[in-house]
Structure 1
Amino acid sequence: MGTPADELRRELTESGVRPGDEVIVPSYGTPDPAEAVLLVGARPVFVDIDADSFCIDPVAVADAVTPRTAAVVAVHTFGHPADMARINEIGDRHGLHVIGYGALEEPTAEIARRQANAAYLDGKLRGVRTPAVSPGVDHSYQSYVVRVPGNGRPDRDAFARALRSRGVACHVPVQTPVHRTQRFRRELWLAETERAADECLALPVDASMPRRELQRVVSACNALGGLLQMAA
């Protein structure tokens, strides 16, 4: 079985992407889409994300289209679907192939439980910005990603350390945007991508979590969030 980049490479090739073409990809997330573009000899063009969904921003996609653009890879991020309707419209207008990337899970009891856990956290958490969900979208919460207020990365990282010391498993979902990694070093500023990399933290929302564990997450976050708000 190939890697995700290999599978996307095949899809790009089947879509007619050739060496020298440009393919629009997000920088916030895994490097797989950009790696796949390189594998077919094309050039990844990194664009910004939507601040709420963390998915590729259709406005940024439209602004990045050039005569060399052949395709767009729209990544479904953390279980929130990309805005395929708007991106497909851009693709139709410019004759581009649009590829949705990342698992969109079919409804299951496990997903329903994750959604219920996410709803509980949405209603209880204070001092962090809970995930935004676009109207009409079914978010599967593969990751429950909040924004930590304050002074960006230093406060977010301190918040994460404090949560772990209280027994709450958490992690930074994207440490470094792909366009700033050694492999893809590009001199560009993607404001929402940078802000998300500095502010975001993934909290546990597993389907198997009992209510007492969710309550532990809420208690720890709310205490720390209150301190951050008072310090701001």
Structure 2
Amino acid sequence: MLRAAGVGIGDEVVVPAFGNVEIAEAVTTVGAMPVFADIDPVTYGLSPAAVADALTPRSAAVVAVHRFGRPADLARLRTVGQRHGLLVLEHHEGSAPRDDIARRRERAAFLDARLTGVATPDGAAGHTYEQYVVRVPGNGRPDRDAFARAVRARGVECSVPVKTPVHRLPGFRRCVSLPETERAADETLALPVHAALTKRDMQRMASACNALGGLLQPAS
């Protein structure tokens, strides 16, 4: 996609650091330089304002990633692209049959209505819930990880969606300030909403999370 767009040696491409190392790798493969910009804390996609701040005369393109099935703010990213003469490319994470998406949305709505003590995802139009990602309150990664262990001990599967942001990985380390990216990596947890889950499974998940949620408070 990058080669077809004419991106190559000497160009810079603005990409997110919140996961998707394969995008940074693709940029380097065509000889360009990945430049990391911060994310929007609601969409988990690139922040249009952060993209604008990251641009230089060598900027050639922006890769907008639709994370967890939640659409990025493509309209505003395209506005930035048009203003600065940049290509805006899209990357979607996974796809599923319409029936599976409908069932995931049903399970997401169930959790939205019942979870307390964790911040539930923004249910924007078009969200396909490739992952149902909540934020665990408290003091960042230590409390999120403790919450995850406790939930698993109650028989509920969960996963950390982004363990290490790309700008912290060997080969891509950058001295750049990405506070929302760092915060999301420390606080997010993905709960299952796949079609095989029964209503009893969903009730057990909500009960397990609610027994813990709200107990973790930010340090004063």
Superposition TM-score tier, normalisation by shorter sequence:
over 0.9
Cα contact 1:76–1:104 (8 A) shared by 2 = no
Equivalent residue for 1:149?
137
The answer to whether the aligner puts 1:19 opposite 2:9 as a matched pair is: yes
How much has 1:208 moved relative to structure 2? 1.8
How much has 1:95 moved relative to structure 2? 1.2
How much has 1:215 moved relative to structure 2? 0.5
Tell me, what secondary structure is at the counterpart of 1:37? Answer: helix
Equivalent residue for 1:62?
52
The answer to whether the aligner puts 1:203 opposite 2:208 as a matched pair is: no
Unaligned runs of 5+ in 1: 1-10
How much has 1:133 moved relative to structure 2? 3.2
Tell me, what secondary structure is at the counterpart of 2:164? Answer: coil
Alignment match of 1:121 (pick from 111, 136, 150): 111
Unaligned runs of 5+ in 2: none
Residue 166 of structure 1 aligns with an amino acid whose one-letter code is: R
Equivalent residue for 2:158?
170
Equivalent residue for 2:207?
219
Q: What's the Cα RMSD here?
A: 1.6
TM-score by structure 1 length? 0.91
The answer to whether the aligner puts 1:97 opposite 2:87 as a matched pair is: yes
User: Aligned pairs, how many?
Assistant: 220
Equivalent residue for 1:133?
123
Equivalent residue for 2:78?
88
How much has 1:131 moved relative to structure 2? 0.3
Instruction: Report the CA distance shift for 1:24/1:230 in structure 2 as closer, same or farther (over 3 A).
Output: closer
Residue 35 of structure 2 aligns with an amino acid whose one-letter code is: V
In the TM superposition, what whole-angstrom CA distance separates every residue of 1:18-54 from its partner, at most 9, and x where no partner exists? 1010000000012011000000010000000000111
How much has 1:217 moved relative to structure 2? 0.6
Using the alignment, how far apart are the partners of 1:79 and 1:114 within structure 2?
11
Equivalent residue for 1:185?
173
In the TM superposition, what whole-angstrom CA distance separates every residue of 1:127-175 from its partner, at most 9, and x where no partner exists? 00000134xx210000000000001000000000001111100010000
Using the alignment, how far apart are the partners of 2:218 and 2:166 within structure 1?
34
Instruction: Report the CA distance shift for 1:79/1:194 in structure 2 as closer, same or farther (over 3 A).
Output: same
Structural mapping, 1:27-66, within 5 Å: 27-66=17-56
Instruction: Report the CA distance shift for 1:222/1:229 in structure 2 as closer, same or farther (over 3 A).
Output: farther
How much has 1:226 moved relative to structure 2? 3.4
Residue 21 of structure 1 aligns with an amino acid whose one-letter code is: D
Using the alignment, how far apart are the partners of 1:129 and 1:147 within structure 2?
5
Cα contact 1:163–1:221 (8 A) shared by 2 = yes
Cα contact 2:42–2:122 (8 A) shared by 1 = yes
Instruction: Report the CA distance shift for 1:29/1:230 in structure 2 as closer, same or farther (over 3 A).
Output: closer
- What is the percent sequence identity of the aligned residues? 60
Equivalent residue for 1:111?
101
